[in-house]
Structure 1
């Protein structure tokens, strides 16, 4: 269903003017601003907006209440919804609401354990008066108007995250498990930039540290192979993999540190997933024998099975990005770095690439004798 279209008022001389005309003009301006803002939005750029200070764009307190209820209080929220509606909540218009999860289950005819999304909605065309009245103005009135905000909860089984549109923003999630309410504190709402949310800034720092560690270890592995002058299929495969990772990470490292904090989260996730894609590409470029040899060697030091390593890598590359709930993908990337960053750190500390786990390296010392000096040639007889 398309949103209602508001048109400008046709002002003419001598017309009878009422407050409805000014309200209609205000609605037209709000509608136009919303439409212009929506033109620049993508399915991956709406959400929380970074404020000028160090404060987060969202400040919400969500607590479990008696009888499987929720108490939601929003003290700050600065965001743009997917349709371009602007949410601006601060200490002057903070709002709160009490929600009953059993009542929601009854309304949606659901049973058992469920997950719920806490949704903040805005109606730019339902204004209500706000502000402290001027005591010298007769009759007294509130000097300003503000948009109407509403807090609600919706079962996640009834919504399609990829089709999340309209003047709504999911700001939190909770779960009803075994009759108890649990707040999912690590949930990250849709955000227009990484700097908009503290959780995204932490993920950005964590992934940056992991990328830097893998790059350093790759340098060491390459230098180790070259210094040892190793010439075998396994060492060549490891060197090629390390060189591809160095190339992939070095191309994006500066952009990752300088530009990505001000970009949508999908830019960060694309950058780090390119590392997994580089590993997958390198494996596919090997022959079947080289690939099997390399995977067996990597799995030995990673304490995983070769098949599991490859299947996890392929599954990660195929995962979809969901802007309104990016946490599953963030956790999958975290598991990827935990495995591969640790693996490359181990390889960089080996005496030589190709050493097997548990293999002892023996160094046999033997005295080195100076080579015998060449005998001086006998002097030729000379009558002189």
Structure 2
């Protein structure tokens, strides 16, 4: 939680006191500070970032434009970790947010990954609205917080009370390029990148559930089940219990929450696989993994990853890549990539399992049978 100190106090008004513009400004700042503080109290380390557009699906961040050495943003809606609302859309009185990268080139010197950060100080405002001469002052009628852009390296603190990253850049050969795979921090699941992960993971999860049902039904109907079949049946029953308890939660609720809840959902699924394998007796586990290695090979469906053999080390790595990854709200791309690859592998894995014969041939189970 980012909870900055309260900077401004309300003016102590007294009858007969001499009132100046400064008093009204300070009282206005105190009100802003109090509202920001209330918002910050309810903002966690994973509930700040971009807001969705009016349709609730697309991101209210315009695609960053890199024109030469200048990056431009025409629209952004969000909330900073300290509770400051950002609402900026380039109009006649709202100029485009821009940042010149030319000066940074001479400071950076080497290749690397950098982040464009949007900053919003609630006490730094600009006049907006159509000019009005009703009061004889020819002034704009309103004030608005104008965000600014900055460039930070991956080693810097990417977010504070008044800022968070919105774009990732790669710097190579003295040239900047936008990394379009980057997922900026978001209040909930929206925007092209996050929605792709949400929908892809949901589709793969549904496939895994349906395949697990078919395998459990197939093994359950056999009279002479092998020990390998019994272990597979036991593990996949746990998968189905997980799906039965939480599939509707994922379908209805998760999309409205911070992306961390989607990550947590699939980390629990990976943890369930890990514990289920670890609970097998050593002899059973050795037989089971030898069976997998000698019967399962092919290419995954989504990423077309070739699998020459489903060895224990490969299965462990697919699970552990999800479990050991840390969720970073400022850059969750790597974790979600590990999750969707894990699900892609498990979908492929179960598709291969469903075609196998699990019968024990007169007590001699051949783990190398094709």
C-alpha separation between the residues in 1 aligned to 2:203 and 2:86? 34
Counterpart residue number, 2:231: 237
Task: Using structure 2 for the length normalisation, give the TM-score.
Answer: 0.88
Tell me the distance in 2 between the aligned counterparts of 1:355 and 1:326. 44
Matched, 1:115 2:117: no
Among 128, 138, 141, the residue aligned to 2:136? 138
- How far apart, CA to CA, are the structure 2 residues paired with 1:351 and 1:70? 62
| Aligned counterpart in structure 2 of residue 275 of structure 1, from 269, 273, 289 | 269
Aligned length: 349
Partner of 1:309: 315
Q: State which drifts further: 295-304 or 268-277.
A: 295-304
Instruction: Quote how far apart the aligned CAs of 1:238 are.
Output: 0.6
Could you tell me how far 1:95 is from its partner in structure 2? 2.3
Q: Which residue of 1 aligns with 2:71?
A: 71
Tell me by how many angstroms 1:165 deviates: 1.8
C-alpha displacement of 1:341: 0.9
- Indicate if the aligned counterparts of 1:298 and 1:343 stay in contact, CA closer than 8 A: no
Higher mean C-alpha displacement, 127-136 vs 245-254: 127-136
CA-based RMSD: 2.2
Measured against aligned partners, the alpha-carbon deviations of 1:171-198 in whole angstroms (never above 9, x if no partner) come to: 1111012333221112111111113x33
- In 2, the alpha carbon distance for the partners of 1:244 and 1:220 equals 14
1:213-292 → structure 2 map (5 Å cutoff): 213-292=207-286
Worse-matched range after superposition: 90-99 or 283-292: 90-99
Cross-structure match for 1:166: 161
> 1:286: Cα distance to partner?
0.5
Instruction: Give TM-score, length-normalised by structure 1.
Output: 0.85
SS at match of 2:123: strand
**Pair 1:199–1:315, CA change in 2 (3 A):** closer
**By how many angstroms is 1:94 displaced?**
4.9
Which structure 2 residues correspond to residues 123-134 of structure 1 after superposition, within 5 A?
Answer: 123-134=121-132
Contact 1:57 / 1:79 at 8 angstroms: preserved in 2? Answer: no
Determine the C-alpha separation between the residues in 2 that align with 1:21 and 1:344. 70
- Answer whether contact 2:53 2:59 (CA < 8 A) is retained: yes
CA distance in 2, matches of 1:173, 1:63: 12
| Aligned 8 A contact 1:48 1:190 in 2 | yes
Instruction: Give the C-alpha shift of residue 143 in structure 1.
Output: 0.7
Q: Which runs of 5+ in 1 are unaligned?
A: 360-384
Displacement, 1:297?
2.2
Structure 1 window deviating more from structure 2 (110-119 vs 57-66): it is 57-66
> 8 Å contact 1:99–1:153 — kept in the other structure?
no
- Which position in structure 1 is the counterpart of 2:79? 80
Q: Which has the larger radius of gyration?
A: 1
Matches within 5 A, 1:297-336: 297-300=291-294, 301-302=296-297, 303-336=309-342
Structure 2: segments with no counterpart, 5+ residues = 298-308, 360-364
The alignment status of 1:183 with 2:185, answered yes or no, reads no
Measure, in 1, the Cα distance between the counterparts of 2:173 and 2:284: 51
Q: Which residue of 2 aligns with 1:17?
A: 19
